[in-house]
Amino acid sequence: MFVRMKLNPSHYQLEGDTAGADLNERLGFICSRALELLDSHDLIVTKPRLRLSEFGDAMARYCINFESMKVIMALPPKAKISEIVSD
């Protein structure tokens, strides 16, 4: 991502990104924001060390989109087929 951002920095403008920040600061912001989102949805565990939760591991292993994973995790236990396909 560092190389891609270096070649085309305007393509990677994010909300909350500071305009005058150097590339390392911007990458730090992107990584921090991503870790906060993953942590807030229980997809990673931060203590005692950073690692995937079971849900995060499933998301990575099966290439599930973040938004789709949030929907899956919001389903009730033993959800019916009609509940799964309606969202």
Chain center to CA of 66: 6
Contact (Cβ atoms closer than 8 angstroms) between residue 69 and residue 57? no
pLDDT tens digit sequence for 15-58: 666 666 788 888 888 889 999 999 999 999 999 999 999 999 99
With bands split at pLDDT 50, 70 and 90, how would you rate the model's confidence at 86?
Answer: confident
Owner of token pair 């849900």: 55
Q: Is the pTM of this model over 0.85?
A: no
